[in-house]
């Protein structure tokens, strides 16, 4: 029986990957010590997700911190997995400035621990790293833009399909989070090239879905929908609310990982997002969630944008589709809104009934 090792197993991507492979009959060892609650407080707590994962009989949970080098080495030696999905991270570029040591230790040093453990005990195992589009820093903001009624969009036809993997990561402001993720991203590539290990970095855009514990500092679409369902105010930070993000459902992320496992490559990088078809601005997201819930979106505007934030970003998916033609986006944006709204309504109703 195949075993997958999934770090950050109680987070959005980790839990989706766990469920995906568990349904295929895999044994999944999940590593998660609920650091998200440390990063974001009670709203970031993922213990509810752990209870969901424990419904899978082949799920094996380990309350392990990836900063624990001996613990990571021992675990890798014990299970020698057939697939490694590294989804554990400190995920907020805002929060990183307040916790720079913790941010770097989790995002960079924790990644190194996992890579070296894999090299020592299972170097042939595909290693999939959840990176981020923040490795490009704010350089995408240097692309000429056109201002439309409800969004910004690229004015340069070279970026009609979005940001490609060849886009530079240099000479830009990344935020400390972006810098720590660059360190992990480059290390994953280097272990692939230097040791000929099957590794890839997935530079995620807005990864989302109904199982996301979205908070103000991380999880744009999930948090926005939560605010609407609860009739809470949502704060828009700069760019007139016309900033654009591409959104991809977590199941589509898990499906791509499966394709990579079946046909792994060495030291690859993919921009993983919803692409142009699943892109929307904050203002457009307000309209879409209102259409789903029937509730008006309460919001306020903060003129100052977040440091290093993208004005417009959506992923060019052509490389992913060329390398893995069996994969495609299966969840269009309206369906994603419906699922997230239903998920938050169910979760909040469950909390209120206790």
- What's the CATH code of the domain at 328? 3.40.50.720
CA neighbor of 207 nearest in space, from 263, 257, 160, 144: 257
How many independent structural domains does the chain possess? 1
pLDDT in tens, the chain (354 residues): 899 999 999 999 999 999 999 999 999 999 999 988 888 888 778 888 999 999 999 999 999 999 999 999 999 999 999 999 999 999 888 899 999 999 999 999 999 999 999 999 999 999 999 999 999 999 999 999 999 999 999 999 999 999 999 999 999 999 999 999 999 999 999 999 999 999 999 999 899 998 877 778 677 899 999 999 999 999 999 999 999 999 999 999 999 999 999 999 999 999 999 999 999 999 999 999 999 999 999 999 999 988 778 999 999 999 999 999 999 999 999 999 999 999 999 877 776 665
DSSP one-letter code for 215 = B
Quote the domain boundaries for residue 163. Answer: 3-352
Half-sphere exposure of 189 (CA within 13 A, CB side): 13
Nearest by Cα to 166 from 141, 136, 192, 142: 136
Residue of 279, 267, 308, 248 lying closest to 159 (CA atoms): 279
- pTM comes to 0.94
């Amino acid at each position: 029986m195949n075993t997958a090792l999934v770090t950050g197993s109680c987070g959005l991507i980790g839990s989706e990957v766990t469920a995906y492979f568990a349904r295929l009959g895999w044994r999944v060892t999940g590593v998660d010590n609920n650091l998200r609650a440390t990063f974001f407080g009670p709203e970031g707590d993922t213990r509810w997700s752990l209870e969901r994962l424990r419904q899978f009989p082949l799920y094996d949970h380990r309350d392990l911190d990836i900063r624990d080098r001996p613990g990571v080495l021992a675990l890798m030696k014990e299970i020698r997995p057939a697939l490694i999905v590294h989804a554990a991270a400190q995920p907020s570029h805002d929060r990183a400035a307040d916790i720079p040591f913790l941010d770097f230790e989790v995002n960079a040093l924790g990644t190194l621990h996992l890579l070296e453990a894999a090299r020592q005990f299972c170097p042939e195992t595909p290693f999939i790293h959840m990176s981020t589009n923040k490795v490009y820093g704010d350089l995408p903001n240097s692309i000429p833009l056109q201002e439309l009624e409800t969004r910004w969009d690229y004015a340069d036809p070279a970026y009609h399909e979005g940001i490609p993997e060849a886009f530079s990561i240099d000479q830009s402001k990344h935020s400390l989070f972006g810098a720590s993720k660059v360190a992990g991203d480059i290390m994953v590539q280097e272990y692939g090239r230097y040791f000929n290990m099957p590794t890839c970095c997935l530079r995620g855009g807005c990864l989302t879905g109904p199982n996301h514990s979205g908070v103000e500092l991380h999880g744009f679409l999930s948090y926005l929908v939560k605010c609407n369902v609860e009739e809470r105010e949502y704060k828009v930070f700069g760019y007139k609310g016309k900033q654009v993000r591409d959104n991809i459902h977590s199941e589509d992320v898990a499906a791509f990982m499966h394709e990579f496992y079946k046909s792994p490559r060495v030291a690859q990088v993919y921009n993983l997002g919803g692409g142009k078809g699943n892109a929307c601005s904050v203002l457009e997201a307000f309209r879409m969630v209102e259409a789903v819930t029937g509730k008006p979106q309460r919001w306020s505007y903060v003129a100052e944008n977040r440091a290093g934030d993208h004005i417009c970003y959506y992923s060019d998916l052509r490389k992913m589709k060329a390398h893995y033609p069996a994969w495609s986006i299966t969840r269009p944006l309206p369906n994603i809104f419906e699922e997230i709204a239903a998920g938050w309504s169910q979760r909040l109703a469950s909390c209120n009934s206790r």
